[in-house]
Amino acid sequence: MAISPFQKTRAEYQPQAPSCLQDLQQLQSRFASMQPQLSADAKTASALGELFPHTFKQTERGLIEFGAFGDSAKNPGEARALHVGVVLSGGPAPGGHNVIWGIVDAIRSLSPRGRVTGFRGGPAGILANDAMQLSADSVQPYRNSGGFDLLGTSRSKIDTPEKLAKCRSVLEGLELDALVIIGGDDSNTNAAVLAEYLVGVGSAVTVIGVPKTIDGDMQNALVETTFGFDSAVRVYAELVSNISRDTLSGRKYYHFVRLMGRAASHITMEVALQTQPTIALIAEEVAAKKQTLYAIVTQIAEVVKERADQGKHYGVILVPEGIIEFIPEMRALISELNQIIAEHHEYLASLSGFTEQSEYLHRKLSRDTSYTFSGLPIDIQRQLLMDRDPHGNVALSRIETEKLLIELLVSHLNEEKAEGRYRGNFGYQHHFLGYEGRCAAPTNFDANYAYSLGRTAAALASTRATGYMAVVRNLSNNKAEWQACGVPLLAMMTLEQRGGTTKPVIKKTLVDLDGPAFQYFAEQRKSWVHADDFRYAGPIQYFGPLALTDRIPLSLALQHGGSPLTNW
């Protein structure tokens, strides 16, 4: 890998860990009741207790807090040489390398004989025993860098009895004390399953999760945000504000920008807060209002028409990639399609092309969804049928929803124009921003946060706790005051119907329409529609005034912070 001056300079940045994690030799831990409580009603709790009999007990002991509590507390850092395994799982997020760096630093601080082993290529790398030793030296060139390329990653899972047994034998063969799984909701669910399995079979290897995802959909009352969200959002905000400035200069295009984020619209809402576009659709709001595709298109068309009357034939419209499954009729269509594909995938595969598959599906779809399907532009029909995700489902992220909206708007506005209700020319451009930001070099916030999560994971390993997630709280305060703790994975789990069976899963967090961040957004956006109040976010700055280099996401500040808006 070529090392640019940027990388070289950036590698010199030393992230700061919370003061409670700075001297690991003196580290103490204690159990604390969870304040605030996580949800899990009694029925769910009881079901989880049956599914996870061994690790469930730990939920009752509550979260693990780290700090200096005086003589009464337990000191876990008893100079024991630990051997910790680490694996990256799922899509990359800025900061992954810093989590590993934090683990390596902390394990070596606990004892010079401590070791860290990395598994290559995601969880599949554990099964293949594709491992490498990680040292301060091997981590050095990856400090504060983006990407997961030090170890690689994948969406592979350890979810069958055979894989669980194989995993155990690899971990025990390497004489690991703990395995740290850095991943999103699925990967942390997998961590909980593996932790339970290992305790159940009498293995001493513990399992610890680390909350990663750019999508921001794993936040809750205890997990304030995931690492990577801040950096990815800042890249998208940079680009959206460049696009806003462009449309304000040329005044001839509506730019439709679809943003990554899977089901939830956290990324879109945060980018909107940072850039103040003309319109930002929020999938959760569409669902709450039960807005149809027609309703959404009409809503945008009204804005286009009103702006045309002011002589404005341009604007910026943000579209969360998850919106497609929150529009009632699209959700029904996708659900039916997935079911038909699952039941008839062999026959479908035997049909040679789009036309034949489309004809066949029309006969299988219900009357309503068939009607919905026929009304879609041909390109979108094709994307719905031809692109599948690794589970065989419709690949939602490949559906160009921004183009769907544009095509429907063009038809709608042509009609309005012909009938005299629209005076303007509807010029447009479309964009999809996702891969452009997932591997950015982490912001200072993410660099510090991810490094701290790594140290926390190592501290948890030293307590021998299993089935915990490394969590760092109090993030809107000074870094030194951040609180390191461990939260039982089960405390974040719920039961979901997936493919006909009930499965325990880490709850995916959607945008809370009653929360302070959305409420603030809903108030602010009123003026954006007509005022062209575009905010120019600029690229991530790593040097210079703290107001530029050490920000936190606005939604995080609104949700957890004091009064962040004065200098925002």
Q: Among all residues, which ones are annotated catalytic? A: 215
Least distance (Å) between residue 158 CB and a second copy: 19
d(CA 225, CA 309): 42
Residue 174 — φ and ψ, nearest 5°? -85, -5
Contact pattern from residue 28 through residue 67 relative to a second copy, giving x for each residue in contact according to CB under 8 A and a dash for the rest: ----------------------------------------
3-state secondary structure of 394: strand
Least distance (Å) between residue 132 CB and a second copy: 15
The span of 163-171, 466-474, 494-502, 529-537 binding a second copy (CB under 8 A) equals 529-537
Q: Which of residues 115-134 bind a second copy (CB under 8 A)?
A: 121
Residue among 94, 79, 529 nearest 299 (CA): 529
The answer to whether the CB of 92 falls within 8 A of the CB of 147 is yes
542 contributes a contact to a second copy by CB under 8 A: yes
Least distance (Å) between residue 176 CB and a second copy: 23
d(CA 21, CA 36): 23
Contact pattern from residue 427 through residue 466 relative to a second copy, giving x for each residue in contact according to CB under 8 A and a dash for the rest: --x-xx--xxxxxxx-------------------------
Question: Pick from 384, 405, 540, 557: which binds a second copy (CB under 8 A)?
Answer: 540
148 contributes a contact to a second copy by CB under 8 A: yes
Least distance (Å) between residue 239 CB and a second copy: 5
Whole-angstrom CA distances from 66 to 58, 114, 164, 171 are 16, 20, 31, 27
d(CA 425, CA 435): 32
Which residue type does 507 have? K
92 contributes a contact to a second copy by CB under 8 A: yes
10 contributes a contact to a second copy by CB under 8 A: yes
d(CA 409, CA 405): 6
User: 6 vs 294, which CB is nearer to a second copy?
Assistant: 6
Least distance (Å) between residue 302 CB and a second copy: 24
User: 268 vs 291, which CB is nearer to a second copy?
Assistant: 268
User: 262 vs 431, which CB is nearer to a second copy?
Assistant: 431
Q: Which residues, 6+ apart, have CB-to-CB distance to 55 below 8 Å? A: 192, 195, 196, 199, 466, 467, 488, 489, 490
Residue 386 — φ and ψ, nearest 5°? -90, -30
204 contributes a contact to a second copy by CB under 8 A: no
Question: Pick from 496, 548, 561, 564: which binds a second copy (CB under 8 A)?
Answer: 548
β-strands 279-280, 115-119 pairing: unpaired
Whole-angstrom CA distances from 478 to 6, 204, 474, 554 are 27, 37, 8, 16
Question: Pick from 4, 72, 310, 352: which binds a second copy (CB under 8 A)?
Answer: 4
User: 57 vs 530, which CB is nearer to a second copy?
Assistant: 530
9 contributes a contact to a second copy by CB under 8 A: yes
Least distance (Å) between residue 48 CB and a second copy: 32
Least distance (Å) between residue 393 CB and a second copy: 17
The span of 110-118, 145-153, 198-206, 219-227 binding a second copy (CB under 8 A) equals 145-153
Which residue type does 236 have? Y
Interface with a second copy: number of residues (CB under 8 A): 62
Contact pattern from residue 217 through residue 256 relative to a second copy, giving x for each residue in contact according to CB under 8 A and a dash for the rest: ------------------x--xx--xx-xx-xxxx---x-
User: 66 vs 520, which CB is nearer to a second copy?
Assistant: 520
The span of 1-9, 37-45, 357-365, 486-494 binding a second copy (CB under 8 A) equals 1-9
Which residue type does 58 have? Q
The H or E element that residue 171 is part of is helix 161-173
The H or E element that residue 87 is part of is strand 83-88
Residue that has been written with the tokens 């940079």 in this structure: 238
Residue 364 — φ and ψ, nearest 5°? -90, -30
User: 85 vs 96, which CB is nearer to a second copy?
Assistant: 96
Q: Which of residues 263-302 bind a second copy (CB under 8 A)?
A: 276
3-state secondary structure of 319: strand
Q: Which of residues 61-90 bind a second copy (CB under 8 A)?
A: 88
Question: Pick from 174, 533, 561, 564: which binds a second copy (CB under 8 A)?
Answer: 533
Residue among 440, 390, 471, 443 nearest 218 (CA): 471
393 contributes a contact to a second copy by CB under 8 A: no
Quote the distance between the C-alpha of residue 321 and its chain's center. Answer: 13
Least distance (Å) between residue 300 CB and a second copy: 19
d(CA 137, CA 317): 46
User: 32 vs 547, which CB is nearer to a second copy?
Assistant: 547
Question: Which letter does DSSP use for residue 508 in this model?
Answer: P
Question: Pick from 149, 159, 186, 496: which binds a second copy (CB under 8 A)?
Answer: 149
Least distance (Å) between residue 501 CB and a second copy: 28
Least distance (Å) between residue 446 CB and a second copy: 14
d(CA 210, CA 227): 9
d(CA 222, CA 35): 8
Least distance (Å) between residue 454 CB and a second copy: 17
d(CA 481, CA 472): 10
539 contributes a contact to a second copy by CB under 8 A: yes
> DSSP states of 179-228 as a string?
EEEEE-HHHHHHHHHHHHHHHHTT---EEEEEEB-TT-TT--SS----BT
Q: 227-261 b/e with 16+ CB inside 10 Å = b?
A: bbbbbbbbbbbbbbbebbeebeeeeebbbbbbbbb
Question: Pick from 30, 536, 561, 564: which binds a second copy (CB under 8 A)?
Answer: 536
Contact pattern from residue 161 through residue 200 relative to a second copy, giving x for each residue in contact according to CB under 8 A and a dash for the rest: ----------------------------------------
Which residues of this protein are in contact with a second copy, per CB under 8 A? 1-2, 4-7, 9-10, 88, 91-92, 121, 145-149, 152-154, 235, 238-239, 242-243, 245-246, 248-251, 255, 276, 379, 429, 431-432, 435-441, 532-545, 547-548, 567-568
